Amino acid sequence: MKQGYFFIAILLFVLSYAPAQNTIFMNPAVAPQIDGHFSSGEWSNAGTVLIELSPNITTTVWYMRDQNNFYFAFTDNLESQNVRFPEILLDVNHDEAGSFQADDWWFHVSATDCEYQGQYANYDSCALIRPNWLAEPNFSLGNTVDTVEIQIPLATLAYSSQSGDTIGIAFLTTNTFSNWSYWPAGIDHTDPSTWGDMVISPGIGLQEVKKEKGLSVFPNPSDGQLQLHHHFPENAELYLSISDLGGKILFEKHVISQGEKLELDTKLGSGSYILQLIHGQKIYAKNIVIR
191 and 260 housed in the same domain: no
Domain extent, residue 285, equals: 206-290
266 and 188 housed in the same domain: no
Please spell the DSSP secondary structure of 195-257, one letter per residue.
SEEEEE---S-HHHHHHGGGEEEESSSBSSEEEEEE-PPTT-EEEEEEE-TTS-EEEEEEEE-
Using the predicted structure, report yes or no on whether residue 16 has a pLDDT greater than 80: no
135 and 18 housed in the same domain: yes
Residue 36 lies in a domain: yes
Query: What's the distance, CA 156 to chain centroid?
Result: 20
Confidence of residue 261 (pLDDT cuts 50, 70, 90): confident
Of the two residues 78 and 248, the one the predictor is more confident about is 78
Domain count across the chain:
2
Kindly report which listed range (46-50, 175-179, 245-249, 270-274) carries the lowest average pLDDT score: 245-249
What is the largest distance, in Å, between two alpha-carbon atoms of the chain?
A: 69
Using the predicted structure, report yes or no on whether residue 116 has a pLDDT greater than 80: yes
User: Which of 141, 175, 200 is the C-terminal boundary of a domain?
Assistant: 200
187 and 74 housed in the same domain: yes
Give the CATH number of the domain where residue 56 resides: 2.60.40.1190
Sheet holding 237-243, edge to edge: 249-256, 237-243, 271-279, 282-290
Please, is 124 exposed, middle or buried when counting C-beta atoms within 10 Å of its C-beta (0-12, 13-18, 19+)? exposed
Q: What is residue 46's three-state secondary structure?
A: coil
What pLDDT score does 204 carry? 43
30 and 102 housed in the same domain: yes
144 and 272 housed in the same domain: no
Using the predicted structure, report yes or no on whether residue 143 has a pLDDT greater than 50: yes
112 and 167 housed in the same domain: yes
Residues 211-224: tens digit of each pLDDT: 445 788 889 889 98
Residues 168-185: tens digit of each pLDDT: 999 999 999 999 999 999
User: Which of 200, 231, 253 is the C-terminal boundary of a domain?
Assistant: 200
Please, is 211 exposed, middle or buried when counting C-beta atoms within 10 Å of its C-beta (0-12, 13-18, 19+)? middle
263 and 150 housed in the same domain: no
196 and 213 housed in the same domain: no
4: alpha, beta or left? (left if phi > 0; alpha if psi -120 to 50):
alpha
Kindly report which listed range (12-21, 50-59, 140-149, 242-251) carries the lowest average pLDDT score: 12-21
Q: What is the mean pLDDT of residues 140-151?
A: 93
Q: What is the mean pLDDT of residues 81-97?
A: 95
Residue 1 lies in a domain: no
155 and 221 housed in the same domain: no
Give the CATH number of the domain where residue 234 resides: 2.60.40.3080
Tell me the percentage of the chain whose pLDDT exceeds 90: 47
Residue 67 lies in a domain: yes
227 and 277 housed in the same domain: yes
189 and 216 housed in the same domain: no
Q: Is the pTM of this model over 0.85?
A: no
